[in-house]
Structure 1
């Protein structure tokens, strides 16, 4: 009996300890599960926020260097292909449009650069980040050059114009190229397809290039149907009339020669007969 009581007390103590242990295990499993889910939710929130920041950064830089700056270049080119009658008025309108668009583009590029500096890992180990950094510097240099415009008629004006034109064209081409690299970087970061955005951006660039070439030649195209003061007026009607006059001249001259010879010989025969009779 004494041995049985010992066994009983051992079994009871084991069951009591197991009973005390099982709830603790159960509670610990319940507590660990929400911690794991919260960690995953935090990670998902970070990924979604990062993807959102990348999308906002891309939209701002596309609107700045991929759209507004090239359109501003088109406006300033249109002012130089205008007619002489409205040259001054159109020059002022297109100049102010060019300036406003470039200022808005610089502000959008600044906002995009602030987002990239604060929220992204800027290791500058890829083409997009390196070109973007160089593009930021070129944009602000171009702003300074634009506001330091000298007056017309000075030697500094020629140097300013060449540098402003080269810098502006370079910024426009670099911005378009960096938009493509940005779309590729977005695809690599988020694994989302960017084929549709690439096609739409290519169509936009192609349309702007066509419009640039078309307005470059528009003044020349209009002059094709206008007769200038120094150019001789020639038409198909005049050419045909000249050909007809030449034909008439060629046909009438032999007739005149034959009639003159005929009258000469007829007169000489008449004189010979008269001399013979006498």
Structure 2
């Protein structure tokens, strides 16, 4: 009897020990399983966050490039072409219209460049360790200096008008040329940052710049080309290439120069 009770106690103890062990295992495993679950959720959310930030960064870079292209790659060169056309006009309403078009285009280019600068300051890491960022910083300052010089234009005929015109012309042309170069460096930086192809944008921008350069050079020769088919009254007539026979030339040299009248002609 005693042995039977002892056997039952051992079985009970074994069951209790098994239950305690099972509970302990559950307590150990449940937190571990919970942590792995949270880690999975965190990893997925972190992956989504990284993907969202990458997409946002790419969008900001593209918007920055679009703003600076519209400013320095399009509006500013068009403004320069406009003012060159107005300089060849004699005056009147057409000159005033072209001048105001030039001013409006340049103001828009300054505003778009400023928007691009603000976007780069807020969204990008501006360590200025590459040529694109360094050139861009210099261009931002030069653009606002050019705008200030433009609004401080002296009246025609004053003493400082020639110096003002020289500074405005040199600075404006330099900004446009350097801005076009910096667009190419920006395309290269975009390729390095996103690994996306830029050959199509490079070809299109090169075609646009080439067309504008052709118009810029054509303006210098357009008036001269138009005069080629017109003989003006004050211009000397070019000598003819017709060959005069030698006997006719000698006859003209031998005969004295005399007045011709009806009586002499009749005796002759």
TM-score class, shorter: 0.7 to 0.9
Deviation at 1:90, TM superposition (A): 2.8
Partner of 1:272: none
Q: After TM superposition, list the pairs within 5 Å mapping 1:191-206 onto structure 2.
A: 191-206=195-210
Show the 5 A alignment for 1:204-219. 204-219=208-223
Q: How does 1:155-234 map to 2 (within 5 A)?
A: 155-234=159-238
For 2:56 and 2:221, how far apart are their aligned partners in 1?
48
In structure 2, distance between residues paired with 1:196 and 1:120: 25
1:94-140 CA-partner distances (Å, limit 9, x unpaired): 11111010001011111111111111111111111111111000000
TM-score of the superposed pair, with normalisation by structure 1: 0.81
Indicate yes or no: 2:32 matched with 1:33: no
Whole-angstrom CA distance in 1 between matches of 2:124 and 2:111: 20
Alignment correspondent of 2:265: none
Structure 1 gaps, min length 5: 257-278
Unaligned runs of 5+ in 2: 1-6, 256-268
Question: Which shows bigger deviation, 7-16 or 138-147?
Answer: 7-16
Tell me how far apart the structure 2 counterparts of residues 46 and 165 of structure 1 sit (CA, whole Å): 43
Shift of residue 226, structure 1, vs aligned partner: 1.4
Once the two structures are superposed, the pairs formed by residues 73-222 of structure 1 within 5 Å of their partners are 73-82=80-89, 84=90, 87-222=91-226
State the distance in 2 between where 1:90 and 1:6 align. 109
RMSD: 2.1
User: How far apart are residue 23 of structure 1 and its match?
Assistant: 4.0
CA shift digits 1:114-172 (9 cap, x unpaired): 11111111111111111111100000000010011111112200000000001101110
Which structure is larger by alpha-carbon Rg, 1 or 2? 1
8 A contact 1:142–1:167 mirrored in 2: yes
d(CA) in 2 for partners of 1:250, 1:158 = 57
SS at match of 1:192: coil
Cα displacement (A) at 1:247: 5.6
Is contact 1:81-1:216 (8 Å) kept? no
Tell me the residue number matched to 2:59.
52
Deviations, residues 56-114 of structure 1 (Å, cap 9, x unaligned): 111001100111101100111112234x4xx4333212111110100010111111111
